[in-house]
Chains A and B, each alone.
Chain A
Amino acid sequence: MKRRSWFLNLSATAGFIFLYAPIVALIVYSFNKSKLVTVWGGWSLKWYTELFNNEQIIEAAWLSVKIAFISASLAVVLGTLAGYAMSRFGPFRGKMILSGWVTAPLVMPEVITGLSLLLLFVAMERIFGWPSGRGTGTIIIAHTTFCMAYVAVIVQARLSSMDESLEEAAMDLGARPSSLFFLVTLPLIAPAIISGWLLSFTLSLDDLVIASFVSGPGNSTLPMVIFSKVRLGVTPEVNALATLMILIVAVGVIAAMYQMRRQARLLERLDNN
């Protein structure tokens, strides 16, 4: 083992450098004074002020956050129902179909999901007159659809790995299905629901392809604005935006890890007593 460890360490270090070098470079160059992205002109916060004065980006960011919040919340409700039905209802008619529909969006290329939803919306508008035009509403529907698949899979995994004895005890004591769900099962699967929500929020916030298909004129989400800017080349404003987003995510992930460790320690202490 020891003989090989230098090789292992070297290649793993190279892997981590590969993972972080572009991000570090992006952050450093967001503080660059020069407009030429590759020429170093000294430290400056210029691009951050430009970013906050760019109304198009701020508006798009706000729209994206709104869409992500609503889609993640809807996806959590629908996904939890689907996950619960699949792991707790035993066999029922249509179970195969439901589980197929739930897992298929996970392997579906985004371009197909986007195109198919757009064509559906167009056809529905022609037949029922709804949705009239496309925009925020159609993006929310699209995002909810692919995010609920992720939530359903997470919730189902959590339910099937969970000991059913607590739920059985509640049933033996005469709990109705609704109180069983809300008072026993829901608190037990809360961590899965929270991570499902966070994952959905991130996926929605990050989606370019599906949103591009189903959005209408004047409803550009943040990824759509970034894409149209970036397509023409590297821009310092986007570097500043990226730095801010990476910072927010890093703080969030570290806070979540810290919280999880605190809880683990608390449980340990409870076990010891």
Chain B
Amino acid sequence: MSILKGSAWIGDESQIGVKRPFFSRIRWGKLAVISMPMFWLGLFFFVPFLVVFKISLAETAIAVPPYTSLLEWNLEEAYLNLKINLGNYFYLVEDTFYLDAYLNSIKIAAISTLITLIVAFPIAYLIARSEGSVRGLLLAAVILPFWTSFLLRVYAWMGFLKKNGIVNDMLLGMGVIDQPLQMLQTDFAVYVGIVYTYLPFMVLPLYSALEKMDMTLLEAAEDLGARPVTGFCLVTLPLALPGIIAGCLLVFIPAVGEFVIPALLGGSDTLMIGRVLWDEFFLNRDWPMASAVAIVMLIVLVLPIMLIRNTQGKEAAS
């Protein structure tokens, strides 16, 4: 099979025979198919990072665009001047504000991933254990919010958590509290927002892991005298592990760089690196500093995540 396919597609040189021009035409077609997405991603995905890196080494300037250029040349006097400014990076290390923002993003993302897992598990379990049409309905109920606007779902919580919002009204009505709680513009609201928006990302991989589980294993464990809790910890959890890991990555990755949720639900003291970068760019108009924040974020947060994902993918494949 693969020999046949290989020869038809690539046009093996050893097979120079009747249809040589035919093969060479195929190679052009193949080249075109590969090079179009390659060119696009190279230009609009890869090259931009080089530009970001370059500008992170520049200085801010009151100019359009607001940064200095690294290279200066003058043909008459025949000199080429290369000026690299590492100040942005030194500043990133010196000012604890940025370090705090990186650490706090990781903390908020990790805690909300854990909460999402706890909230999602019963839902996924219930769906995996229900029958035919009910299962389809419940799955659709989980997926439906995912297709509606992310921004509007975050917005919905603003109305919910406000000082005179629904949650406070309910708690006051039940007599649980006698003063409205400040929930909006706190870290609590950010946790709620992240758990809420990324819940489907956790439920779906969990569901597909739990669905494959053989229930008789759990019965066997109980027959052998395991208590439900023991059965859950020793049978269900290990079997659901691939789903748990996949779900946690799907939640943690976007949560770390989140901007909208801390901007709308968090307070001014909710430090998250996505928001710091945004403010550095849009409020301070410091393009080189924003670039340096992005480069460090890329190296410290994104690269490790990509490596973990790759090893995960390879394990899943084998």
Contact = CB atoms under 8 A, between A and B. Distances in A.
Contacts of A9: 126
Interface string A103-146: 11101111110011101101100100000000000000110110
B164 interface: yes
Interface stretch (A41-49, A51-59, A94-102): A94-102
Interface string B27-50: 001100110111011101111110
B136 interface: yes
Given A15-B122, A23-B156, A79-B37, A226 B136 contact: no
A101 B155 contact: no
A234 B5 CA distance: 60
B41 A38 contact: no
B144 interface: yes
A148 B37 contact: yes
Output the residue of B6, B55, B150, B159 with the most chain A CB within 10 A: B159
A152 B40 CA distance: 13
B303 to A, nearest CB: 10
Interface in B270-318: 274, 277-278, 281-282, 287, 290-291, 294, 297-298, 301-302, 305-306, 309
B294 A111 contact: yes
Interface in A233-261: 233-234, 238-239, 241-242, 245-246, 249-250, 252-254, 257
Contacts of B165: 38
Interface of A: 1, 3-4, 8-9, 11-12, 15-16, 18-23, 25-26, 29, 37-38, 78-79, 81-82, 84-85, 88-90, 92, 94, 97-98, 101-105, 107-112, 115-117, 119-120, 122-123, 126, 141-142, 144-145, 148, 152, 164, 168, 171-172, 176-178, 202, 205-206, 208-209, 212-213, 223, 226-227, 230-231, 233-234, 238-239, 241-242, 245-246, 249-250, 252-254, 257
